[in-house]
Amino acid sequence: MIDNNNDSKNIKIMQIDPYLKPFEKDIKLRVESYKVTKKKVLGSNQSFKSFANGDLFYGFHLTADGWVYREWAPNADALYLIGDFNNWNPQSHQLQKIENGNWEIYLDGAQALKHMSYVKVRVVANGVSRDRIPLYIKRTVQNPNTHDFVGQIWQPDYEFEWKDSNFHIENTKTLFIYEAHVGMAQEKEGIGTFNEFTEIILPRIAAEGYNTIQLMAVMQHPYYASFGYQVSNFFAVSSWFGTPDELKALINAAHIMGIAVLLDIVHSHSIKNISEGINEFDGTDYQFFNAGTRGSHPAWDTKLFNYGKPEVLHFLLSNIKFWLEEYHFDGYRFDGVSSMLYHHHGLGVAFTDYSKYFSLDTNIEAITYLQFANDLVRQVKPGAITIAEDMSGLPGMCLPVDFGGLGFDYRLSMGVPDLWVKILKEIPDEKWSMGQLWHELTSRRPSEKNIGYSESHDQALVGDKTLMLQLGGKEMYSHMLKTDDNIIIRRAMELHKLIKFITITLGGEGYLNFMGNEFGHPDWIDFPRIGNNWSYKYARRQWSLMENKELKYDYLANFDREMLSLMKRHNVLSSTDLQNLWTDEENKLLAFKKGGLVFLFNFNTDISYPEYELPTDEMGEFEVVFNSDELMFGGLNRIGTDYIYNAKKLGGKGNKPGVVIYSPSRTVLVLKKV
């Protein structure tokens, strides 16, 4: 029941965004759902942190005198533990049913189960017996004899020694995120490992200047080519890449380097497979998921969680706490949030006005779950980061829960990559609108932070194109030598630099790059499958292209590294002093001020301006501190870096204070007051 006496003035989201006024009842419904469900789940005194301990009760636990194994299967008729420890005997180790749909068995002696033993649980329900993987298993592998996936006991005779006590996520307040997939991070034609990533890729990421890694595909998924988005076992580390301890070593090493690590967490759906996943574990389709057609995603062919069920909330929230504590992750990028928020999953819907966010299609239970998830993260690891992958732009996504928001720190600026694709495909270079770029890159929900990025990992997949491939096309395969002056590649590199740079400066309060895109990786990603003869040729990253000093990929890598360095030195992304200085539609130039720096973008296709009047908003002396035309970036070195520009009143710009400067075509230059 909604408290109608609750004045909307007390809900801060209503003050922050006046456009929400017509939807006051909907906002109150969101607030009330949070309060009522929280009390129902936690009672009066419990916290989310003390509630989310499913993995400490369920699953396998070594005790002083043996093992205890527990499962939640309320509608099952019988459960039997099977494995190599009992020669897969389906009758010898029956679990006993206890309260609340739980089952348990005690095994005498520490040697009853051994480290790396194979296990499953036979579940009898509705007269049918199925051998299933335990719900809270921490590792699953393929049985080398039968080739099916099985659970594996992970209980080494040592404790992993963490050495990251000096790392604090607060040291990376401005996020420069390197989105990475461990399996395809290596140049070899095969699946990369956690150890290889630690030894080879982590130092690259640190040297390039990124302070945060967003790891994809960490949660166990049986189909490698799913990119990790069809999770089967939520507490298990992907065995494609190595062991739980090898993942810990990766995160430990990253922290020692000062790099935060985020987990790409998938709570929006689950794989429908019965043999590998959690679907129909107790014989019903509604144990974890919505019943009937509502429990199936029409586009992804996966199962959809019932976020209104307390036991499901317990499972998912326990999962969130588990990865933070067991593996020292520093937060999450929540995948598929738009799909969670609406019963139509955002499919075919254009969110053109506020009414689209507040209708019968809105999943209030999912909103409440996401609020709980963010509350829990703050309780378990203060300072941890949460990012929402939401294309709909739901108001309040990145406002605190007690403001009436969902509690995320950031939302991915998903419209920005789409903007660049649309511009490059549909608008000739000479007709780009400076006003459109400014509007699209700077328009955000009030008081809500975004992660800006110019291209998504989806664009790197077969059937689509990365920015560099979109710009350079087939010429990339024959004209990337530094000695080869090809007009198509020259345009591609100039625009690649401009697009990246204007996106990082205007597109958000954090920045994300997908692995390899920083140097314009030429090939798309094609995971091994029947259609390509199970080849790994395109499921890798060719670092040798970037390291070859004779190729132009070196220029793009240099630019990306120095771009990040400039952003860090002047705290550009976290600055709140953004000011449009001049929008020149006719000549295709855009000037603005941010972080105390003056930026001048010249998008003109072929015209350079020897004496361009650049407003600076203040008098004084200015010097160029960065420009895309440097030789190390593949430019022509046309801008002097040792010259002091004296500001004066600009007659052609309404007597605004500014400098007269040379602005070459398709370049960006950055000035700082001396």
Active site residues: 335, 389
| CA-based nearest residue to 620, from 652, 593, 659, 590 | 659
CA dihedral 500, 502, 503, 504 (to 10 degrees): 80
Which secondary-structure segment (H or E) carries 325? helix 310-327
Give CA–CA dist 411/139, Å, rounded: 31
3-state secondary structure of 419: helix
What is the spatial order of strands in the sheet that 667-673 belongs to?
579-584, 589-594, 597-602, 667-673, 621-627, 645-646
* Extended strands (E) in 126-185: 128-132, 140-142, 149-152, 176-181
| CA-based nearest residue to 460, from 470, 451, 450, 472 | 470
Q: Return the number of other C-beta atoms located less than 10 Å from residue 607's C-beta.
A: 14
How long, in residues, is the chain? 674
Residue with tokens 């990082």: 504
670, 608 Cβ separation under 8 angstroms:
no
Give CA–CA dist 590/655, Å, rounded: 18
| CA-based nearest residue to 515, from 568, 455, 450, 473 | 455
Give CA–CA dist 509/410, Å, rounded: 8
Residue with tokens 């649980």: 121
263, 215 Cβ separation under 8 angstroms:
yes
Give CA–CA dist 487/508, Å, rounded: 32
Q: 228: left (phi > 0), else alpha (psi -120 to 50), else beta?
A: left
What is the spatial order of strands in the sheet that 66-72 belongs to?
59-63, 66-72, 102-108, 96-97
Token pair recorded at residue 469: 């491939």
CA dihedral 541, 546, 547, 550 (to 10 degrees): 140
Token pair recorded at residue 378: 């703050």
* Extended strands (E) in 585-664: 589-594, 597-602, 609-615, 621-627, 645-646, 648-650, 656-663
Q: How far is CA 443 from the centre of its chain?
A: 21
DSSP code, position 667: E
| CA-based nearest residue to 424, from 457, 487, 458, 468 | 468
What is the per-residue DSSP string for 501-526? HHHHHHS-SEEEEETTGGGT--S-B-
233, 219 Cβ separation under 8 angstroms:
yes
Beta-carbon contacts of 237 under 8 Å, excluding residues fewer than 6 positions away, are: 138, 139, 218, 219, 220, 243, 244, 247, 327
> Largest Cα–Cα distance of the chain, in whole Å?
92
